[in-house]
Structure 1
């Protein structure tokens, strides 16, 4: 059943629900199969201990955050996180030895890149999707990529590593290159008790990314009643307005429901280019998911322009203009956007918009973007 039966519009043509290209289907089947290839879950997995030469790590979860998602198949260790950090900044992960993960995920921009559609990849061509932020991924439990095409961080990493447009690395060549570096050989042996394998490369990267926790903004200090931790009247009004108008998607301490929504950006969802414009539908093949993309967190939003899955909006004012006046209606447009007496749009006065942006400023975590533990050198 369509999510919006009250709006039986003709925004989706027959091409929209066309069968996906076999090459694309295979790619996503492989992504979802990767966790099985990496390390099948077994009963009674041994706990890490310092007796193995590893130091187990328990994430320092902010008091106002929920518990993170458990990852029994890739337990965190100080050594694994450090290995992942080194790999994250290593250009050898790309086929031309010029591109690292950090090329498109800059710490000073909350691990985004400041570009709408990056052309920094191997091919030099503009990508079809805006580079997502990398923080609070220990709570990502409903799929990664803008369309949810990867089950977890481990399987997700194979996408950019092997993509011709991004890092274009041959995984066998990557293993050979890393095996030529004695320090890496030693580290992989210590962390995974094995020689270097691409499956463990992505596990190390995942450990580092799960350690990227952003939860020390002015808002967090206010919520936790820490010093300094006050918000002014305008910021508090903005917080109230955000909860009233936007919390259907940007909810909870993480300011995302981790789910997928059609936020009215488009009313046509072409099947061209392997369905890149179709959102979660290209993964689920459920027509109810056409045009639905992952809800990004509003944390650090002042640092991560441009906005949306394709980076089409340069400023937050443009984002608010869209939600107030430019919602496009299709069969899957989220019902929470019909706030204008049953019509599409979210009414906001000039002062309300100003207050909302003032509050969004309080979500910037400057300690996170300068933390040396996450940097290229620490």
Structure 2
């Protein structure tokens, strides 16, 4: 009976479903043109977790990379060789810049050209330099850089003090125990083991003292150039109002002036290329690939000379760039020399001295600012690198003291 009832129920449900299905309305699919526009926000970009792990993350610059002391030593050895190559190129590039600046200073360029202009406004290329100065934060930017460098220097000295205290305390304790137990104190004297640590600390302190001399020079320079910075805080309109009025002159359109302006512009481009290249050179000293290879050397899976040659090749490649710079610089200086002879004849007898002095003061202030800013930027890089070395040394000293304590307890 129960089976019959279940069959009846199933049949009734089936009949009901068939009736419902008669009322189902099926729509056809829309054509592609009728589909709604795809919203990009409804989609996500799928990326591998490895890519995410290798990305820089906010605040990553505040974390130190800890490497075994042996790897740090290899890194230091490599940097000595790399710095020799870099120093050679830097010396050549800096000499080029110095020679160019000397030539321009002797000719009074570009101020001499500005002074002959009949335009009653600040030249656009000069204003761009002033504007860059203002956007960076005026003299306050230099002062903030100096403050940051001073703090970085203090951080380095703090680590050195910690290392020295650990070494001295451990050595004093060893001497005390030796005095108490005499011949029964069988450990090797600390003074015979910590010599390398002391030597490295002295070397680092020597480097810091030299850097401090440069910092002090910059600090003095900032106080000296502050008065010259006053005019650089003015707006373009305010500078134009202070600019001496032009004396009527018909020489502005002379071809020699156009040639000089072109050479000066090209010279500025060369200097920018040098600055970028110098920055790239120093970046190469902190390559992650370099550390990876040095770690492989430490693990005996890569030959040291092979690793060194591989990365030193990156610095040797700058030789062609330096040669090209030398050629282009010489050509531009030659162009300036040739056209200045004609320019002097045009300029003779023209009363533009007050305007020339006005532009010279602006240029001098900007150059002083840029020179000191470069010194401070290099100082900041130096202290950052030094702090990395000192942090690694501090870890090594802690390990040394801990191992000596284990010997003592035994």
TM value normalised by structure 2: 0.23
Higher relative contact order (CA 8 A, sep 6+): 2
Which of the pair has more CA radius of gyration?
Answer: 2
Greater helix share, 1 or 2? 2
TM-score (norm 1): 0.24
